[in-house]
Amino acid sequence: MPALVLDGKALAAQWEQQLSERVAVLKEKSSGKTPILATILVGADPASATYVKMKGNACRRVGMDSLAVEMGEETTTEQLLAKIAELNSNKDVHGILLQHPVPSQVDERACFDAIDLAKDVDGVTCLGYGRMAMGEEAYGCATPKGIMRILEHYNIELEGKHAVVVGRSAILGKPMSAMLLEANATVTTCHSRTQNLPAHIKQADIIVGAVGRPEFIKAEWIKDGAVVVDAGYHPGGIGDIEIDDGVKERCTAYTPVPGGVGPMTINTLIFQSVESGEKAFS
């Protein structure tokens, strides 16, 4: 039986229709106001500019407004903190996204943590991460939360399963492990320096590639019947996992690259922005 394709692009399109309806309700209740996502782009990194543009387009597709804030390459930590404080106090802004990465002279972690928890719709603050890991209310980091929404939609069983996450970044690998643990999976967190990595991956019922290296995880390491989730994206349209025809025949389900995790990352950011707007307008 061919593997189930975990189609994030199609799922995001379905959710956009639902989110459009929710935004329309909010506009009617609030005399035409909509949730507003503020995006902050510091510097002129072309990839970051593209991502910010995509997020603005996603806002418009569901009828939301976005506020694009662009700051120069020479921006200091203090200047960025002042801009975040301004957006925190703006009652018309319901979500704040600081595009990663920022220029090297900026203390990115300090700026992430300056974002008001109620507006942390990208799930990047230490407070939000801690609350999420403790099972308390908080917005989840957009990529791992998007993955969890994909797994939930396709009824992928997590309870009691052995999940192996390869990657330990603060906005992907670590929160991914915490979310899977909260869903009652048994979780092993690995990374690029893990010894005997193939042996760990061979045990995985669910493998999540989040290491940021093209095809770092080899097809031959993946056991038959596994669920394969690839959160990477690299030039040439390849991910962190080598997903060849053999893997597609042997695994239970997999996310394509592109068209799997990426669309649901952006959709989750919009989903959480709409939630924040609903709370503010209630």
Write out the catalytic residue numbers. 55, 99, 122
Phi, psi for 229 (deg, rounded to 5): -120, 120
Closest alpha carbon to 176 in 201, 194, 158 = 158
Amino acid type, 99: Q
Alpha-carbon span 278 to 282, nearest angstrom: 6
Q: Alpha-carbon Rg of the chain, whole angstroms?
A: 19
Contacts of 38 (CB under 8 A, 6+ apart): 66, 67, 69, 87, 90, 93, 95, 96, 97
**3-state SS, one letter per residue, for 84-118:** HHHHHHCCCCCEEEECCCCCCCCCHHHHHHCCCHH
DSSP string, 64-88: -EEEEEEE-TT--HHHHHHHHHHHH
Task: Label residue 189 exposed, middle or buried (CB < 10 Å: 0-12, 13-18, 19+).
Answer: buried
DSSP type of residue 220: G
